[in-house]
Structure 1
Amino acid sequence: MNYRRPPHHFPGRWIVAIVAAIIATPATAETSHFGTLSLSPGFEPLEGRVTGHTGGSYSLSEISRRDRDKNPCVGFADPQPDHILTLTEDFQHINIKVKSGGHDTTILIQGPDDNTIRCGDDTGTNKDASFEDTDFKSGTYKIWVGTFNPGIRRNYTLRVQEK
């Protein structure tokens, strides 16, 4: 007798199911070069400070050419964000400043919905980048700190302030 297994008994189908589940599962862990900040309203000033360094040849305009206010998004950084900022609640007004000793830095902030982009450049007569805005919703923000020319390494301190 010539016995054939019915087609619904495919021996490797559980492997296919596992692979399909892994592919369909979204990545929830955000990674950054210099770590994360988690802030709630009324946070202490030192909680809003992190350090890092610029570098990279990835054009930030690849993320977005302009932000939500039509400001140009310029500079070069690494494709991976430098910092992850988690706001546990909505904030009415936030100021984000880069301090690099006056070097020409830029900043790009991508909001929780990935479509809300905020970009910053010079702060008054200072070449360090900053961004000040209202209506920051709770969620996770990706932050890139860049320079106008690719591959330039500048040490900096990033400061987040509640206004």
Structure 2
Amino acid sequence: MKSCRSQILFFIGCLVGLFTVTNSNSVSADTSFFGKISLSPSEAVKAVTGYTGGSYSLSTISSRDRQKNLCIGFADPKPDHILVLEKDFPKLNIKVNSNGYDTTLLIVGPDDKTVRCGDDTGESKDASINGNDWKAGTYRIWVGSFKAGVRRNYKLSLQE
């Protein structure tokens, strides 16, 4: 009886430990897989690299963006990039180049309410967001793939 009780307490302890580890992965505005990007209006273009992957549905973060576009794709719960806009941008174009693989974008603004989502760009399966009225602040960016668990290298370009 005593060893059974010890095993049950050990099992409960493991569950509590697992729960703590799982919750410590919650999304923070200060952490990302591929780092922080700072952008000011004086910079014409900036580009960073990364790779897609994960099986976390981006529609869990938001099902639609501020223009009622669907938010789709799969990534990791942690954002891929943190974008810091040092000033307001009247216009900003963010584009994924993965050599034509099917990518998606989800960007959450500084107020956690402004969401922008992107999918195919014209003939290309790569995602982009070409939007107006970007307020200064910190944005979380997820670059996803259309199918869960697919890993594709990409270049993310930002241009005013």
TM-score normalised over the length of structure 2: 0.81
- Does structure 1 conserve the Cα–Cα contact (< 8 Å) formed by 2:38 and 2:85? yes
Q: Residue 29 of structure 1: CA displacement?
A: 6.1
Contact preservation (8 Å) 2:44, 2:159: no
2:30 partner amino acid = E
Q: Report the secondary structure of 1:34's partner residue.
A: coil
Find out whether 1:144 has 2:142 as its counterpart.
yes
Q: Are the aligned partners of 2:39 and 2:86 in contact in 1 as well (CA < 8 Å)?
A: yes
Residues 105-133 of structure 1: CA distance to partner in whole angstroms, max 9, x if unpaired? 00000000011000000000000000001
Distance 2:94 2:39 in 1: 13
With over 3 angstroms needed to count, the CA separation of the structure-2 counterparts of 1:136 and 1:29, relative to structure 1, is closer
1:117-132 equivalence runs, <5 A: 117-132=115-130
- Report matched runs for 1:8-23 at 5 Å: none
Give the equivalent residue in structure 2 for 1:153.
Answer: 151
Q: Could you tell me the TM-score, scaled by structure 1's length?
A: 0.80
Unaligned runs of 5+ in 1: 1-26
Give yes or no for contact 2:105–2:117 (8 Å, CA) kept in 1.
yes
Separation of aligned partners in 2, 1:39 and 1:107: 18
- The structure with more radius of gyration: 1
Query: C-alpha displacement at 1:42, in angstroms?
Result: 1.7
**Hey, what's the Cα distance between the residues in 2 that align with 1:160 and 1:151?**
25
Structural RMSD (CA) = 1.3
Summarize deviations over 1:92-114 as a string: whole Å, max 9, x none: 00000000000000000000001
Q: How many residues align?
A: 134
Aligned to 1:61, the other structure's residue is in SS state: helix
1:67 aligns with 2:65: yes
Corresponding residue to 1:92 among 76, 87, 90: 90
Cα distance, 1:88–1:72 mapped onto 2, change above 3 Å = same
Tell me, what secondary structure is at the counterpart of 1:65?
coil
Aligned partner letter, 1:93: K
Structure 2 segments unaligned to the other structure (5+ residues): 1-26
- Show the 5 A alignment for 1:108-119: 108-119=106-117
